[in-house]
Structure 1
Amino acid sequence: MGVAMSMSAIRPAEERLSLRAQVERAVSAAIISGELAPGTMISVPTLAVQFNVSATPVREAMLDLEKRDFVEAVRNKGFRVTVVSEASLRNTAQIRQLLEPPAMADLAEVFDHESLPELRQQADDIVAGARDGDLTRYLEADQAFHLALTAKLGNPLLVELVADLRGRTRLVGLAAMLDSQQLDRSAVEHHELLDALERGDGVVARELMHRHIGHTTGWWAGKPESDAE
């Protein structure tokens, strides 16, 4: 048989990759937020029907999530959402505390005010996601906001590390926070961080980022926090 291939033959692969990304993003958000609780079984055929796609991009997306330790394969059943250990959550938070608060303190010294309107809009999207109970929008806007700020320091490796650590963070108590003051308060912190950066106040920017990351082992993990935190 010949091996000639037309350009049109590449398109289905591109479409599968796009669908794979869509499925992974949606399932990832549901797992991160706790909407899909640890222990929940996920059936590839069922998910394929839900997304109205073939099983292939769904299976590929689940294998990607398995690499992130979000799910584990269960023979002849599908994938089970993994249990996130307190130690793993704490370790990830500790590394983020070493990187992100100092980064925001440094950014306050060189903050580009021309980018403020765009960042305010992203912060508004986070607040709207919390207000409307749209956790996928909340999480995607939150990720975009923090990576955009980190990128302004001009260190691609730092952005890559922060993105990876944030991608590993499970916020299993987030879904339970819908319509709560805690979710609204944590959303508003993004505007407070921008206020500090706009003033050039590195001390406050560092403290806000430290407190914000602390929610990953507090409110967002389904645990209480004192007002002092």
Structure 2
Amino acid sequence: MRQGAQGSAVSGNQEGRRDPEGSETRPQALRVPPQGCGAEGRGAEGERGAGPGRSDSVPSARGEHTHSEVPIPRPRPLVQRASVRGQILDALRTALVTGELTPGAVYSAPALGERFGVSATPVREAMQQLALEGAVEVVPNRGFRVVERGARELAELAEVRALIEVPVMLRLARTVPSERWVSMRPLAEATVRAASTGCRATYAESDRTFHRAVLSLCGNEQLVQVTDDLHRRAQWPLVSAVRVPGRGHADLIADAAEHTALLDALIARDLDVVRSLVGEHFAGA
């Protein structure tokens, strides 16, 4: 028993000699996981590093401040790239609405990237998104062709939108309280201000925002997404509109005025006026 106790004492003394190092490395290794580092590998390294001749491993176990900083820079390029892609996508959409990108013309990602001062990668990704939206077509080994959208196709898009949106708006006119419609007046007024600028891109965004807000009251997210996609497709300009700068300014103002008139009718629950205005709105589109 004395030998066993003595053996335990010896063992305890040996552990005690490691305690000055172990008491520092082990608790620090336990703090690594909350900072996003590998707990097992670094903890084991810290224990192996305790002791003479292995002091070079100790900073690795103790340096939790550097451990917490290692993963931080890695996602930054992804965030920045996504941000650049989003900015390029917005810029390309604006160029499409204003006619700066000519219908029927083919544009390469490297050329557009040089134009925007970025690499071809975010431009190509943005163009692929526009291809999904029906704004451009992929031309193998050349780039992307801007879709030539004529009056007939725009009329067809307007008809499809009317088939979906008119019944929904009439149902909302009967069920949504007037207070909800009053709260949307700033959105309708924003379309009027956007139309007064004559900028098709500015008006296109405010126009979609107003329609999206109205339709969202139906509670059907799929319907909102489908109609928003149709609306965006309908906003690409006519081929002839590209050749006449400023064409359509009066049409924008008239279209925006219909938003405020429609909202007034919805607040007053005048279903006959709502039906007439909604029909005229899509007929004009």
Bin of the TM-score, shorter chain as denominator length: 0.7 to 0.9
Letter in 1 for 2:250: Q
TM-score by length of 2: 0.65
3-state secondary structure, aligned to 2:104: coil
* 1:72 is the counterpart of 2:141: no
Residues 26 and 206 (structure 1 numbering): CA distance in 2 closer, same or farther, change over 3 Å? Answer: farther
3-state secondary structure, aligned to 1:152: helix
Q: Would the aligned equivalents of 1:41 and 1:80 in 2 still touch at CA under 8 Å? A: yes
Percent of aligned pairs with the same residue? 37
Q: 1:44: Cα distance to partner?
A: 2.3
Q: 1:85: Cα distance to partner?
A: 4.7
* 1:98 is the counterpart of 2:98: no
Q: Would the aligned equivalents of 1:72 and 1:80 in 2 still touch at CA under 8 Å? A: yes
- For each residue in 1:123-159, what CA deviation from the matched residue of structure 2 results, as whole angstroms up to 9, or x when unmatched? 2222222211222221111111100000012222221
Runs of 5+ consecutive residues of structure 2 not aligned to the other structure = 1-37, 39-69
Residues 18 and 117 (structure 1 numbering): CA distance in 2 closer, same or farther, change over 3 Å? Answer: farther
Residues 46 and 200 (structure 1 numbering): CA distance in 2 closer, same or farther, change over 3 Å? Answer: same
Aligned to 2:9: none
Q: Would the aligned equivalents of 2:181 and 2:266 in 1 still touch at CA under 8 Å? A: no
TM-score by length of 1: 0.80
- For each residue in 1:24-50, what CA deviation from the matched residue of structure 2 results, as whole angstroms up to 9, or x when unmatched? 223223324544331133342343244
Aligned to 2:276: 207
1:127 to 192, 217, 242: 192
CA distance in 2, matches of 1:35, 1:215: 24
3-state secondary structure, aligned to 1:79: strand
- 1:27-38 equivalences under 5 Å are 27-38=92-103
* 1:184 is the counterpart of 2:253: yes
RMSD: 2.6
Q: 1:11: Cα distance to partner?
A: 2.4
For these two proteins, the number of residue pairs brought into alignment is 213
CA distance in 2, matches of 1:65, 1:129: 24
* 1:164 is the counterpart of 2:164: no
Q: 1:100: Cα distance to partner?
A: 0.8
* 1:108 is the counterpart of 2:177: no
Larger deviation: 200-209 or 84-93?
A: 84-93
Q: 1:212: Cα distance to partner?
A: 1.6
CA distance in 2, matches of 1:204, 1:40: 43
Larger deviation: 196-205 or 8-17?
A: 8-17
Larger deviation: 183-192 or 109-118?
A: 109-118
Letter in 2 for 1:26: A
Which gives a bigger RCO, structure 1 or 2 (Cα 8 Å, sep 6+)?
1
Q: 1:98: Cα distance to partner?
A: 0.9
Letter in 1 for 2:107: I
Letter in 2 for 1:138: Y
Aligned to 1:25: 90
When you count helix as a share of all residues, which structure comes out higher?
2
2:146 to 74, 81, 99: 81
